[in-house]
Amino acid sequence: MELEFRSGVDVELVKSSAADSDVIFAARVSTQGERTREVAEDTEKAISGLINFLMRERHGSPFEHSVMTFYVKAPIFVWREHMRHRIASYNEESGRYRVLEPCFYVPDEDRKLVQIGKAGAYTFELGTPEQHKITDDSFREACTQAYQQYEKMLAAGVAREVARGVLPVTTYSSAYVTMNARAMMNFLSLRRSAPDSHFPSYPQREIELVAEKYEDAWAKLMPITHSAFVANGRVAP
């Protein structure tokens, strides 16, 4: 089978029930009891004021009454990090029930390759053309050899769940990820390196690519909540 090498991640919002009004209706039960679903009479200023208050005071639960489902295709090493976020629901393709496709991540020329400094205090720099070449060659050679061995075992009748053991963590896998707005903010606070963050994080670039696409989609669905998150230092409530 022909091998595919690529550098991006795919993130597609497949369904959602998520709006700024979901935050308001959940919060209003505190003071008005039930039947507060209708918020049409609220001015944008009032909505924005309440959401900003909830964000600032870290009243987190009103942000849980929303839901977004994404289809994500990313390398397995990204999934290892992503799955640490327990406040999300996952269904991933199975290497036991299907033959894994020969699709592999390889860093592109924009990926910073060289780490300067020690753990906890370092920066990344681009790297020389030689370092990029050796990286590209090594990824391609290792993946090609691994996939040949995988196919060899499958052809000999070895079970998929055994044969997959030779495939590298740079192999792409896909999953549905479902989360609410509060879980989204927790994810974004940790997986984006934003200079305006009160608690800067330094995620691996490839999971940050996923986070960037999540944030774009979420900001369109809940623009007022997103603005309040940014204005309050990107701290998850």
Ligand X SMILES: Cc1cc2nc3c(=O)[nH]c(=O)nc-3n(C[C@H](O)[C@H](O)[C@H](O)COP(=O)(O)OP(=O)(O)OC[C@H]3O[C@@H](n4cnc5c(N)ncnc54)[C@H](O)[C@@H]3O)c2cc1C
Q: Does residue 80 have an active-site annotation?
A: no
Q: Taking CB under 6 A as the rule, does residue 203 contact ligand X?
A: yes
Q: Taking CB under 6 A as the rule, does residue 98 contact ligand X?
A: no
Looking at residue 169, the DSSP 8-state letter turns out to be T
Tokens representing residue 191 in the block: 């997986």
Cβ distance 235 to 58 under 8 Å? yes
Q: How far is the CB of 151 from ligand X (least distance, A)?
A: 33
Number of neighbours of residue 23 by Cβ within 10 angstroms? 29
Q: Taking CB under 6 A as the rule, does residue 87 contact ligand X?
A: yes
SS (H, E, C) 15-71: EEECCHHHHHHHHHHHHHCCCCCCCCCCCHHHHHHHHHHHHHCCCCHHHHCCEEEEE
Q: Taking CB under 6 A as the rule, does residue 56 contact ligand X?
A: no
Choice between 164 and 234, CB closer to ligand X: 234
Q: Taking CB under 6 A as the rule, does residue 26 contact ligand X?
A: no
Q: How far is the CB of 26 from ligand X (least distance, A)?
A: 18
Q: Taking CB under 6 A as the rule, does residue 86 contact ligand X?
A: yes
- Distance of alpha carbon 196 from the chain centroid: 20
Of the residues 164, 182, 191, 234, only one is catalytic, namely: 191
Applying CB under 6 A, which of residues 186, 208, 214, 237 lies at the interface with ligand X? 186
Cβ distance 198 to 132 under 8 Å? no
Binding window for ligand X (CB under 6 A); candidates: 24-32, 69-77, 186-194, 226-234: 186-194
Q: Taking CB under 6 A as the rule, does residue 118 contact ligand X?
A: no
Q: Taking CB under 6 A as the rule, does residue 59 contact ligand X?
A: no
Q: Residue with structure tokens 């205090």?
A: 121
Catalytic residues: 191
